[in-house]
Structure 1
């Protein structure tokens, strides 16, 4: 019961803020999705990621081992999802990112902290950093329909993640005043993303829920199996392997919707995936944590 309550505590803000976005749109109030998306992806998220990485304390050897295992896990998931989507005749631009990337930030990080303590949180940050780099390079390349690598490298969140990893590696810290400013700026990202998700949910097309449920369930099973297998083959410590499994298995991230909206993929279908997979996680994540602890 405690596990269920803790997961519910982490997921409730997602549900409440998304509901606020739905109510906002249903009330006929104006909401500029384009402006909010640009503000969040160009300013809020880069600050959030950089500060989280800079403040992490973990042994460099563990960073390297878990980082490589995380990269291998996401690579396997990407290849498997791309193959299944091709067989099913579904759009890679719309569905590949959501099928691979989870909500490792505002859901995975607090769950790792609750389940495994400060050390587990540090492990979770490493997986989060790998996900960000893969999501905002290859993930953007897919959702944008290809193109050169130049625009990807100019994405602020990619630079912020690399800079955060450098600070983490070197043990550097910014002055408190600057850190507090960046932290405050980053705090706007998650609420704005969730409100924007609610706006999209308010416009969902009927009939997409069954497909969203199927993809979400397949993603969950594949992520658990991949995380456990890769973590075992990499020889990770039990706690690091458990965190890897947890992070890979988090529900589809709101960021996937934001990228679909920004680059012109089917954002409404992705919004449905986010909502269904998040609801599914209310049952799945407590069970998963019970097995991992």
Structure 2
């Protein structure tokens, strides 16, 4: 437990440093976007490639993936069912479902996997699930909700191939499967660049906390409470129950439960803003679930570690 608290302490210090540099005016909103872009398009792909090329794929993708997928399906079904009962429009229903089931696997998932679980490769299943399946599916539905024209399947299927994290992850998996050695002239620069992914993400997140708007009062409590409750409570419980059912060991149970307890991903807000659907719900769900995930994850680790 001491190592977990130390891991969270490390994360908190770097996030706090991001808040400080934003408060002092050293990094503004444009700087934050640049930092995030470098982390997303350059450093994170390098990190995931170097991590996955040596990963034990059977340990990462077998039962862990089953438990994570089951948890996503459970929360998504409940959220979609409630949205249908409320007779929400299709776009709002999609955003609400993403708020309840789409994890912040990048900005917070990688640091938590690295410093709390001790292996950043453990975040790979949920990252690939979201980037290859969930996000393209959600965007296709949103496209159909706001457009009078049919969705292009070519555009839909090519979307993951245009995401650098997906491409780098698949490349790392192919190297791991083939066992082919990566030349030092390639591996060393990738490892060096990948080393800045986690601190860059945390600094950018801290800058965003300082510069970003706080949640307002535009979302009723019952509207906000449902996606946050599903995200922080039902999803990790479903992952844990599935993990127990399929016989995951203690380390696997801890990993899938912690990963499923991650807060709503920040890009849900970007998507909501792009399609002009449930923007306030997405913003407030991200903020509240981010604050709430810390005690939830600490409690999970205390019970399962």
* 1:153 alignment partner, one of 155, 160, 164: 160
Q: Does 1:269 align with 2:281?
A: yes
1:125-182 Cα offsets, whole Å, 9 max, x none, are 4444434433433244345556331452343233333223223333443623441465
Q: Is the 8 A contact 2:47 2:191 kept in 1?
A: no
Distance 1:60-1:181 versus aligned 2 partners, 3 A rule = same
Q: Any unmatched runs of 5+ in structure 2? A: 146-150
Matched with 1:285 is 297
TM-fit CA distance, 1:222: 0.9
User: Superposition pairs for residues 21-170 of structure 1, below 5 Å?
Assistant: 31=30, 42-43=41-42, 45-54=44-53, 56-58=54-56, 60=58, 63-90=61-88, 91-118=92-119, 121-142=120-141, 144-145=143-144, 147-148=151-152, 149-156=156-163, 157-170=165-178
- Equivalents in 2 of 1:131, 1:209: separation in Å? 28
User: Superposition pairs for residues 139-288 of structure 1, below 5 Å?
Assistant: 139-142=138-141, 144-145=143-144, 147-148=151-152, 149-156=156-163, 157-172=165-180, 173=182, 175-180=186-191, 182-183=193-194, 186=197, 188=200, 191-192=203-204, 195-196=207-208, 199-201=211-213, 204-208=215-219, 210=221, 211-262=223-274, 264-288=276-300
Q: How many residues align?
A: 286
Provide the alpha-carbon RMSD of the alignment: 3.8
Q: Is the 8 A contact 1:17 1:194 kept in 2?
A: yes
- Equivalents in 1 of 2:143, 2:225: separation in Å? 25
- Equivalents in 2 of 1:184, 1:262: separation in Å? 31
Distance 1:44-1:89 versus aligned 2 partners, 3 A rule = farther
Distance 1:193-1:61 versus aligned 2 partners, 3 A rule = closer
- Equivalents in 2 of 1:170, 1:74: separation in Å? 30
1:65-114 Cα offsets, whole Å, 9 max, x none, are 32333333323332232222332345124222221022234434444455
Q: TM-score, normalised by structure 2?
A: 0.72
Q: TM-score, normalised by structure 1?
A: 0.75
Which region of structure 1 is more displaced relative to structure 2, 239-248 or 186-195?
A: 186-195
- Equivalents in 2 of 1:233, 1:126: separation in Å? 19
- Equivalents in 1 of 2:142, 2:203: separation in Å? 23
Which region of structure 1 is more displaced relative to structure 2, 30-39 or 78-87?
A: 30-39
- Equivalents in 2 of 1:19, 1:88: separation in Å? 43
TM-fit CA distance, 1:216: 1.2
- Equivalents in 1 of 2:40, 2:94: separation in Å? 19
Q: Is the 8 A contact 1:140 1:152 kept in 2?
A: no
